[in-house]
Amino acid sequence: MRFRAACLMTVLAGGLALVAANNALAQGGGLKLVRYGELGAERPGLIDASGTLRDLSGYIDDITPDTLSPEGLARLAAIDSATLPEVDGDPRLGVPLTGIRQIPALARNFRAHAIEGNFEIPEEPVLFFKAITSLNGPNDTVVLPKNSVNSDFEVELGIVIGSRASYVSVEDAIDYVAGYTLCEDVTERHYQRNLGGGNSKGKSAQTFTPLGPWLVTTDGIDDVQDLAMWLDLNGERMIDSNTSFMITGALETVSYLSEFFILLPGDVICSGTPEGVGAARVPPVYLKPGDVMTLGIDGLGEQRHEVRAYSPEELAARGF
């Protein structure tokens, strides 16, 4: 199966050496790692320079925090992708890594998003955590939580940690990042704003953190602070922005958070949404069963999600 890259870059940005033209690196440099297959039975793979999905299970059992270490990524980058089996058909893509232990996230990290919500521009990054039980595949359905009235959409840059990070400088932060992925931070605004206790209540429902379709290593992204990002709801453009508008940039975020707790390999930082969310619209636009969300970030691919009403049967069938 051949998957088309949305945008592939050419400049190496720290970490891996560019070896032969037919190695495992995607077009323009960088690894593009995926996990494919049925839920709970995903296999490791990569997208090669031609856009072909290839199986990595002859080399690794899965894409884990250990895989994302500098040594692990260097071993994958050295593989001749032409020797890897091609994957036929159109398989489901899952969360592009397993073993995630923490999902730190930033609120109000885009000035215009803070303003649209009538919040002050934060003087310091606003941190919260999303439950790991909210993880979801890049094209799986989003199931609204029980009694949801104000579920909303967000598109965010996900920063994937590759090495244990504590008290890391901004200058050195790139050495602790394995790569980047697309994140949708689905949010129940009533839970978030009206039930006390901060952001996590509204951010942690099952299926509320879709990641993927792939993880692109840092050397596959020319400038992480210049990536177009967008989200459509039922075919209408709702969010249209760029990572250049982040208040705290990706590497600044890694450095800042490492001052307060240890970032672990495999952690995924959701770095905040731009303006355009449903709660800020007049009248507000909230998710309802039957809606379809599509979203993307340059170089990190696209997601598509059908919205479903709360169903304990569906959630149970998907392992929640």
Torsion region of 313: left, alpha or beta (phi above 0 gives left; psi -120 to 50 gives alpha): alpha
Question: Does the residue 11 lie in any domain?
Answer: no
Query: How far apart are alpha carbons 27 and 30 in whole angstroms?
Result: 8
Q: What is the pLDDT of residue 8?
A: 30
Give pLDDT tens digits for 54-99.
999 999 999 999 999 999 999 999 999 999 999 999 999 999 999 9
Question: Does the residue 97 lie in any domain?
Answer: no
Query: How far apart are alpha carbons 136 and 128 in whole angstroms?
Result: 19
Question: Does the residue 36 lie in any domain?
Answer: no
Q: Report the pLDDT averaged over residues 293-297.
A: 98
pTM equals 0.92
Question: Does the residue 113 lie in any domain?
Answer: yes
Q: How many domains does the chain have?
A: 1
Tokens of 126: 């606003």
Q: Is a pLDDT exceeding 60 seen at residue 5? A: no
**Domain harbouring 283, CATH code:** 3.90.850.10
Query: How far apart are alpha carbons 291 and 240 in whole angstroms?
Result: 19
Question: Does the residue 218 lie in any domain?
Answer: yes
- DSSP string for 8-33: ------SS-----TTBSPPTTSS-EE
Q: What is the pLDDT of residue 241?
A: 97
Question: Does the residue 43 lie in any domain?
Answer: no
**Residue 207 near residue 143, CB atoms below 8 Å:** yes
Domain of residue 238 covers 104-317
Question: Does the residue 256 lie in any domain?
Answer: yes
**Rg value, the chain, Cα:** 18
pLDDT band, residue 163 (cuts 50/70/90): very high
Q: What is the pLDDT of residue 26?
A: 62
Q: Is a pLDDT exceeding 60 seen at residue 316? A: yes
Q: What is the pLDDT of residue 23?
A: 61
Q: Report the pLDDT averaged over residues 152-162.
A: 98
Question: Does the residue 23 lie in any domain?
Answer: no
Q: Report the pLDDT averaged over residues 195-223.
A: 95
pLDDT band, residue 11 (cuts 50/70/90): very low
